[in-house]
Amino acid sequence: MHIPDGYLSPSTCAVLYAASAPCWITALRRTRRRLLARSLPQLALFAAFSFVIMMFNLPLPGGTTGHAVGVGIAAIVLGPWSSLLAISLALTIQALFFGDGGITTLGANCFNMAIAGSFAAWVLYRLISLGAAPESRRRVLAAALAGYGAINFSALLAAIEFGVQPMLFHDAAGAPLYAPYPLHVAIPAMMAGHLTVAGAAEAVMSAGLFGYLRRNEPVLVGLSAPPAESARPLRAPLWGVLALAMLLTPLGILAGGTAWGEWSAADFSDSSARTQMVAASGHMAAPSAAPTGLAHLTNLWTAPMPDYAPRFVKSAAFGYLLSAIFGVGLICAVVWVIFWIAGRFGAGDDGVPVASSTGRRLRAGVVSRTLRGFSRALERTLVQEDTARARGLLQAVDPRVKLIGLLGLVVTAALSHRLAVLAGLLALGVALAVASRLSLLRLVTRVWLVAFSFTALIAAPALFLTPGAPLAHFAGLTITANGAHSALLLLARVEAAVTLGTLLVLTTPWMHLLKALRTLFVPVEVIALLAMTHRYVVLLVETSNAMFESRQSRMVGRLSPRQERRLMIETGGVLMSKTLALGNEVFLAMRARGFRGEVRLIEEFRLRPSDAVAGVGFAAAIVLALSAGR
Amino acid sequence: MEQSPVNAAQSEAAMAAPLEFEIQDLRFEYDRVPALNGLSLRVREGERISLLGANGSGKSTLLRLMDGLYFAQAGTLRFRGEPLTEDALEDEAFALRFRRQVGLVFQNPDVQLFNPTVFDEVAFGPLQLGWSRQEILDRVMSTLQWIGAEHLKDRAPYRLSGGEKKRVAIASVVVLDPDVLLLDEPTAALDPRSQSQVIELLESWNDGRKTVITATHQLEALSEISGRAVVLRQGRVVADAAPEAVLADTELLEAANLVHVHRHEHGGVAHKHVSPYLRHEHHK
Ligand SMILES: Nc1ncnc2c1ncn2[C@@H]1O[C@H](COP(=O)(O)OP(=O)(O)OP(=O)(O)O)[C@@H](O)[C@H]1O
Ligand SMILES: [Mg+2]
């Protein structure tokens, strides 16, 4: 569900940023007072927890991957507002640091998973557990359904966002410019995975953690609050329903069919265009006039679409066929990823050696692999500090200039419609990486291959789906020239955006990045949260590694899958309490030394002449790419 | 609380010194686990106090309350006459002053070390308090030198040995040169030589005007590190006297679980050993 850069049109991104912003602001306001006192550690804990949970990608048919989000339990424990902040934060860190999800699409990802997910989970839990006794089984069921409902709601939103792209954004020949699936392919494909695999994972996790917390930390799940507090639940669901309804209004555009204003207002009076619109929207009647606000917003970001007729594939059979192709493709990708991880860590090159107390080597099961994933995350954060402190070109640039410049280039890449421009941006990225003494090998294996494998899966159907002149035949299907072009475009756009984003992260120490964000008027609470969450992620990794080692040293032989699953849920619960306790301590230690949320560095940022040169360089590259890209 | 039995430790000069902390009937519980049950204590400027008590007797909790990290559910805690409450610390100016004057070294160094390098770690406090760049650079380097951790400057704190971590944790607080230093088991996890080094360091740092409160289990170094010993039991002060007097009171030590009394027979003769808590070695 992490939509990468380049999959959504800039206007979609803007809309979803705009939809998310009021939620973030309201959430910050509501939590502000307690943020620096009590709730911050909990919030950061859940952000970190969710971050880790989302590292478990499950393959889904439809060209996306799925994962549990942890939003069910987060919403139950934190309430929707803090929960949406926590999950948004996890997503932000993933986008900034791990290239999981894009920067331009961050608003969309947060909207789907953090905001909609949190409210859905919270409302479901409250409604289903209404009036249930603290020890009632209904509460566990409510937790499970909250997780299940929330993740499916998020998935549906993501599917809709994917699905509307080809309808809204394509070139003159009808080749999709962004995500290539129409809704009738995207929704079934996405939901098939979330209604089953990911939904089940989220449900089991929600229920398992809820049960664990109820037994061990009843205060956390609000089951041992003093009676004075019990007035809260009455009011709370109403707010949730209201907020949910408000959050859903942007989707009214879709239901009303008004989103077709993207083409141009004139199209609404053009009879042939109308015919296409009606055909494209499942034979739904088109409105007689375009909504001006939406038309305006669209024009702000992208050139209006030319007046042509979209030709969508309408065969249901083709959808099934696609699912089958993706299934196979995804299985290959997942196997490849697992081998890659196993290859990196199985040999004990830098991972924990997998040996039991008897010295017998154990084959790593799911839990072990999971924990290896943690150490990988840790390694990456540490490596980042290394590269960020190396002497190189980008390291010497003022973080603020770098932040604005590189993010500008990422947006430019997302906006760009020409292969040559994207190739140029990619080349620029590589040149900057070399000048900044980054390992190209690391860039290739960690960034390009990973981005490629996922993008290729999403781009593949465009090869066959897009109507146009036949180019080649493959397994009974025809690859069209337009298809090849749009698939390549998508691939190039993602690679360029991801490379440029990675450069920012790899050449800037974490604290400097925070400080740069701070000087760019990001509120202090957000910075404090980011700082704490970063610390929690590392802490979670350290704790889980220690737990893994101590468990491993007491284990002989291999666990059955059932034992593994039990261990996983238990480990999750213990890990959470343990990190909560440790995290609180760290937070106290920070406060004891005067931390009040403001980031302070020894070296004040000072703009030097060379930074002006860098700024001009970035600006020139952006302007050049933007003008050439149109 | 009943008045402390002995106050011999407090010299006349100390009695005359202004009050640093004034604690009255303090109560604190963690989610229904009571930790402090009506604790009262007065600390005067320049006093060196050791805080004794079995595991779970409330030493760490008391230090955290004194550092303004937790706030009591009942009772009062005044620092230099001002009540130390959550609201008081919301005030930027007061918080800045307080953090500058009072430093706490945590029991677990892992939680105290959260910066990417040792240098950053030690510089964290001064940065928060808004010192000038040059001052920070000088002070951080001299503190690292003083604690013998200069060579660790660019290392990641979480990759140090237990003893090294402890030193860095101490440095990160001492760098602020607080008037009041709260130490939670500063010598735990150190080898014997490092233990005496740290004790000597802390003594050399203390110029006689600093107030130092040390929670400890080490009865051996008691008289070295303090002029007054306060014994806690179940969140209350059960003794407050000169270290020598506390050490001589076997009944008290046993009652507070500070020593392990081991009874056995040698050839039919009943025999009793008293050994400091956790330091007992079996004896054939
Ligand atoms: N975070 C916490 N949550 C709940 N209870 C706690 C917490 N921290 C301490 N306690 C409890 O409060 C009481 C006092 O603990 P405290 O840490 O102050 O003891 P201590 O004297 O420092 O012990 P030690 O010598 O083991 O460090 C104990 O009963 C302990 O179990
Ligand atoms: Mg303690």
Strand partners, B264: B271
Check if A197 contacts B (Cβ < 8 Å): no
In a domain, B270, yes or no: no
Q: Looking at the complex, does the CB of residue B123 fall below 8 Å from at least one CB of chain A?
A: yes
Whole-number CA gyration radius for chain A = 24
Question: Do B133 and A37 lie within an 8 Å CB cutoff?
Answer: no
Residue B182 lies in a domain: yes
Report, as ranges of residue numbers, the positions in chain A whose pLDDT lies below 70. 31-45, 48-49, 51-66, 93-94, 96-100, 170-176, 179-181, 217, 219-220, 222-385, 446, 450, 454, 457-459, 461-468, 474-477, 524-580, 583, 597, 629-630
| CB A172 within 8 Å of CB A129 | no
In a domain, B20, yes or no: yes
β-bridge pairing B48-52 and B228-233? parallel
Q: How far is B127 from chain A (nearest CA, A)?
A: 6
A615 near A400, Cβ under 8 Å? no
**Is B203 in CB contact (< 8 Å) with chain A?**
no
Query: Which DSSP category does B91 fall into?
Result: S
With H, G, I as helix, E, B as strand and everything else as coil, classify residue B238: strand
Where does chain B have alpha helices with state H?
12-16, 59-66, 86-90, 92-101, 109-112, 118-128, 133-147, 162-174, 192-205, 222-225, 243-248, 250-255
Determine the Cα–Cα distance for residues A46 and A71; give it in Å rounded to an integer: 9
B266 within domain boundaries: no
Ligand 1 atom nearest to CA at B31: 4
For chain A, domain boundaries: 10-224+237-336
Q: Which residues of B82-120 are buried (b: 16+ CB within 10 A; e: fewer)?
A: eebeeeebeeeebbeebbbbbbbbbbbbbbbbbbbbbbb
CB within 8 Å: A596 and B128: yes
Letter for the amino acid at A595? F
Q: Which whole-number Å values give the CA distances from B170 to A48, A265, A463, B103, in the listed order? A: 29, 69, 63, 10
The verdict on A604 touching B (C-beta cutoff 8 Å) is: yes
Asked if residue B238 belongs to a domain, the reply is yes
User: What six digits make up the tokens of A568?
Assistant: 């996983």
Reading chain B (284 residues) residue by residue, the pLDDT tens digits are 444 444 444 444 455 678 899 999 999 988 778 999 999 999 999 899 999 998 899 999 999 999 998 889 899 999 999 999 888 888 888 888 898 899 999 888 877 787 778 898 899 889 888 888 899 999 999 999 988 888 998 887 877 888 888 889 999 999 988 999 999 998 887 788 888 888 887 777 766 678 999 999 888 888 888 889 999 999 999 999 998 988 888 888 887 777 766 555 555 555 555 544 444 444 43
Collapsing DSSP to helix, strand or coil, B157 comes out as helix
CA distance A117 to A253: 20
Q: Which of A5-34 are b and which e, b meaning 16 or more Cβ less than 10 Å from the residue's Cβ?
A: bbbbbbbbbbbbbebbeebbeebbeebeee
Cut 0.80: pTM above it: no
What kind of architecture, by CATH, is found in domain A10-224+237-336?
Answer: Orthogonal Bundle (1.10)
**What are A195's strand-pairing partners?**
none
User: Ligand 1 pocket test: which of B26, B28, B60, B230 has the largest number of ligand atoms within 8 Å of its C-beta?
Assistant: B60
Strands laid side by side in the B228-233 sheet:
B102-105, B180-184, B211-215, B48-52, B228-233, B236-241
Task: Dump pLDDT digits (tens) for B215-228.
Answer: 998 888 888 888 89
Is the CB–ligand 1 distance for residue B55 below 6 Å?
yes
Give me the pLDDT at residue A331, please: 32
How far is it, in rounded angstroms, from Cα A466 to Cα A391? 47
Binding site membership of B190 for ligand 1 (Cβ less than 6 Å): no
**Ligand 1 nearest-atom number relative to CA B64:** 18
Find out whether A408 and A362 touch, Cβ atoms under 8 Å: no
- Angle (CA) A187-A185-A177 rounded to 5° is 105
Assign residue B146 the CATH number of its domain: 3.40.50.300
Interface pTM, i.e. ipTM: 0.74
Q: Does A590 touch chain B (CB under 8 A)?
A: yes
3-state secondary structure string across A225-285: CCHHHHHHHHHHHHHHHHHHHHHHHHHHHHHHCHHHHHCCHHHHHCHHHHHHHHHHCCCCC
Residue B253 lies in a domain: no
Q: Is B270 helix (H, G, I), strand (E, B) or coil?
A: strand
Residues from chain B that touch A510, judged by Cβ atoms under 8 A, are: 116
* Among A residues 208-237, those touching chain B with beta carbons less than 8 Å apart: 219
Ligand 2 center to residue B51 CA distance, Å? 10
C-alpha distance from A592 to closest chain B C-alpha (Å): 7
Query: Which residues of chain B make contact with A601, given a CB cutoff of 8 A?
Result: 127
DSSP state string for A581-608? HHHHHHHHHHHHTT--S----SS-----
Place of tokens 């309350």: B65
Number of domains in chain B: 1
* B156·A511 Cβ contact <8 A: no
Sort residue B57 into left (φ over 0), alpha (ψ -120 to 50) or beta: alpha
Residue-level pLDDT at A142: 92
- At what angle are helices B192-205 and B162-174 packed, to 10 degrees? 0
Question: Which of B30, B236, B238 has most ligand 1 atoms within 8 Å of CB, for mutation?
Answer: B30
Domain extent at residue B161: 12-248
Q: What token pair was written down for B80? A: 């230099």
